[in-house]
Structure 1
């Protein structure tokens, strides 16, 4: 997610009265594919606040088994409370495995509620480019502290990258600082594959370098024929239509300890709900 410092307000968006047929059967995973495909709900950031239950019902029908939430205007649980959200997820046959959130505000409460409903992760989605490498070192220590709070509650803490941490700064990659100065017993990482590629880096090389540290990933494809540039606008496209070789990368990710595979759609070629539907059809058929 890019610069998610505050929730994007509803603007326009899709009228949710459209009827979409279930594609769950068509997306039934086969051996060697993703057993439980997840969706980052930020993909439907404009539609979700209008009708959370209706949107989530469609997501389930598309063959998603897991969801990763984020903090919108009504918090991580979209006005249902943590127990109400879990109850609704259960009724749809889905599970909330993680959420992006602000770890600097009411984090003890967030960790306790997440643990109470069986979530696995709370995740920092964005810290922004820092002025000095020492600033990244200070953030690594903050991650350790947040990780300790999560561990106390029986869940895990993780950091989700953008391109800036995979871009050289004063001869060093900030991502290396995060990896090396966080306690592996407290902090995991969510690799946003799109942003690693956008930074001109090889996701597989990083997965191998830090085996077992990247436990979640964002699957987000990138427009073909456009060279990565610093500060580029988001060029995400429907998974399977872009330039990223997910068959190869996800196979390596599985070998290197990846556990959660989560779709994130940030830019749209058609209605957002249709984009995530097509993402699910492609990925639930992909073998690797």
Structure 2
């Protein structure tokens, strides 16, 4: 399934609370920092990338990105190249492919072997979808553990990338709690998409505190100012630094709570996609927190 088909959101009544807690809950400990190796999810350039993979990657390097998170397009995670050829080209640009989103239920042994062979760190499930029953999330957690075992054999790790549905109460529980509690920390990590956490009315800092060292990667994208949360709303993301999510307090605490990889993702566009991610890189590479 194309990710564009299922990136549909539902609203949350706690918009003001979420944004306020993100801004107030993360006071710096005094250790000011910056993002050392900014990454980008290639889905951000989903229209441009298939036309000229090498050209797009070259531009991303020039914008100041250092790490790449791929996804499975029509030509696979390596965009028509072999895994080794892709790595060689990345090396020539000063880029590192650290992770990729992929379908962990299809030919996963091969994907894990190819990823491990070139020194990638993660393969990631990008989407689960809202399940009908809470037990279905437990079954998903079992599947994640099995995928984690396959990754472990190949010297990499497995992770799950959230959307808003797992951070919304369902039958008195948060599905995210079920996924966290039923996955083996030795096998499964989590990639926190902070935009979706905020969209669900939740505080990223509090969840990182609750499950310290489980969220190892994050997606950074901003949310348009003064946009009400409505069920089924279109994507409200915008260029990072121009929206309503205050990333300084969040990032000030993230590292001490286990965060290791910081990855920009651009889902909606206010101008040409390459221009959006160029501005995002300039903002995040100069952000001191």
The TM-score, its normalising length taken from structure 2, stands at: 0.89
What CA deviation, in whole Å up to 9, does each residue of 1:178-228 have, x standing for no partner?
000000000000000000000000111000000000000000000011132
Match of 1:173 in 2: 174
Match of 2:227 in 1: 226
Question: SS of the counterpart of 1:39?
Answer: strand
Question: SS of the counterpart of 2:205?
Answer: helix
Q: CA deviation at 1:6?
A: 2.1
Q: How many residues align?
A: 263
Answering whether residue 59 of structure 2 is matched by residue 47 of structure 1, we say no
Q: CA deviation at 1:230?
A: 2.7
Match of 1:126 in 2: 127
Q: RMSD in angstroms over aligned alpha carbons?
A: 1.1
**CA distance change for structure 1 residues 7 and 73 in 2, over 3 Å: closer, same or farther?**
farther
Match of 1:208 in 2: 209
**CA distance change for structure 1 residues 80 and 7 in 2, over 3 Å: closer, same or farther?**
farther
- Counterpart CA distance in 2 for 1:42 and 1:88 is 19
- Counterpart CA distance in 2 for 1:172 and 1:47 is 40
- Counterpart CA distance in 1 for 2:170 and 2:251 is 28
- Counterpart CA distance in 1 for 2:102 and 2:284 is 26
List structure 1 runs of 4+ shifted beyond 6 angstroms. none
- Counterpart CA distance in 2 for 1:170 and 1:229 is 20
For residues 59-70 of structure 1, what are the structure 2 equivalents within 5 Å? 59-70=60-71
For residues 188-199 of structure 1, what are the structure 2 equivalents within 5 Å? 188-199=189-200
Q: CA deviation at 1:252?
A: 1.4
Q: CA deviation at 1:255?
A: 1.4
The structure 1 residue matched to 2:2, chosen from 6, 20, 39, is 6
What CA deviation, in whole Å up to 9, does each residue of 1:212-271 have, x standing for no partner?
000000000000111323322111100000000101111111110100000000000000
Residue 7 of structure 1 contacts residue 71 of structure 1 at CA under 8 Å; is this kept in 2? no
Residue 199 of structure 1 contacts residue 230 of structure 1 at CA under 8 Å; is this kept in 2? no
Answering whether residue 284 of structure 2 is matched by residue 283 of structure 1, we say yes
Match of 1:241 in 2: 242
What 5-or-longer segments of structure 1 have no aligned partner?
Answer: 10-30
- Counterpart CA distance in 1 for 2:231 and 2:184 is 30
Match of 1:159 in 2: 160
Question: SS of the counterpart of 1:242?
Answer: coil
- Counterpart CA distance in 2 for 1:281 and 1:147 is 35
- Give the stretch that moved more between structures: 223-232 or 181-190: 223-232
Q: CA deviation at 1:32?
A: 1.3
- Counterpart CA distance in 2 for 1:264 and 1:258 is 16
Question: SS of the counterpart of 1:78?
Answer: coil
- Counterpart CA distance in 1 for 2:3 and 2:249 is 34
What 5-or-longer segments of structure 2 have no aligned partner?
Answer: 6-31
The TM-score, its normalising length taken from structure 1, stands at: 0.90
